[in-house]
Amino acid sequence: MLPQLSSLDDFRAALAGAQVQDQAALDGAAARNSQLTKPPGALGRLEDLAIWYGGWRGSERPEIKAPQVIVFAGNHGVTAQGVSAFPAEVTAQMVINFEHGGAAINQLARLAGARMDVHALELERPVADFAQGPAMSQDELLAALKAGWEAVDPAADLLVVGEMGIGNTTPAAALACALFGGEAADWTGRGTGVDDAGLANKTRVVAEGVALHEAAIKDGLDALACLGGREIAAMAGAIAAARVLHIPVILDGFICCAAAACLLHTADGALDHTVAGHQSAEGAHPALLAKLGKQPLLSLGLRLGEASGAALAIQVLKGAVACHSGMATFAEAGVSDG
């Protein structure tokens, strides 16, 4: 069961105190893998994925039966500075599209056999422009974290989280810059397709925001309050809840990984239960994945967001687990292992 969150320190404590993988299940899964009817290592990374998954689910022969996809939506005051090629109204319009089943993520979630939930977070009240002051108060951040925390189905056995929020590659870039250092230009990309002038303006906004809040950022939650957004914080809350519940997570693109980075800077081992679903076309995503220590499962040039790349990667993890748990061992098949 998930503990109740009444403060940000409750969230920090729950994340820091989350249990690690089940070592007996991990060892059992590794032993089973060594006995399957194939040459050692023949399934490559699929073998490691299946063992990792089994360790988190507490089973040496796991199954994936109940994946959950959650899309969080939020709006950003920083869009007033012209950082996006699309107007903020598109966020609410896309939420309706999600609810009616018309978006890419709807198709990919259905294909994966995943339950899909959509949570719109106060779209009529964007977070503040982080270049002018903190994006969220402590209470607003806690509410957004709780929205993600409480959205996770404890019965799920795999979680994918995504986002919709016009302008949100800007706070994601600011978070990455604040947490990992470097120049704003290293982390700022074209997002939905801004031109060169738009990219220069966006980079300026990221640099100003990071400089404004640098002294106030002591951990990832501070960074979220200063520079983030409700949907980014909600993704962090959901990923953290999954950690406590031993539900493995497939991370989506640049914005999802920026949310995950905030957890990594809040508690050691906070992302041990996650894998990267894909490497997106957003320019700084490979660098962010490297900072997180995650090797993507797919690289297809996707830049849509809304959990689409991670949802597609559910199929890869399902394949890994199906082979691991469904294949016969040499003894079961009556095949000589040499």
Q: Bridge partners of 182?
A: none
Question: Of 60, 99, 306, 332, which residue is the catalytic one?
Answer: 306
Token digits of residue 2: 């998930």
Q: Are 279 and 299 in contact (CB under 8 A)?
A: yes
Token digits of residue 125: 């009240």
Q: Are 90 and 98 in contact (CB under 8 A)?
A: no
Task: Render 113-134 in DSSP notation, one character per residue.
Answer: T-EEEEEE--TTSPBP-TTTS-
Residue among 130, 261, 140 at smallest CA distance from 208: 130
* Cα(238)–Cα(156) distance, integer angstroms: 12
Can 150 be counted among the known catalytic residues? no
* Cα(244)–Cα(1) distance, integer angstroms: 8
Alpha helices in the chain (DSSP H): 8-16, 23-35, 45-57, 89-99, 104-111, 138-149, 169-180, 184-187, 196-213, 220-227, 230-245, 254-264, 285-292, 308-326, 330-333
Q: Annotated catalytic sites, by residue?
A: 306
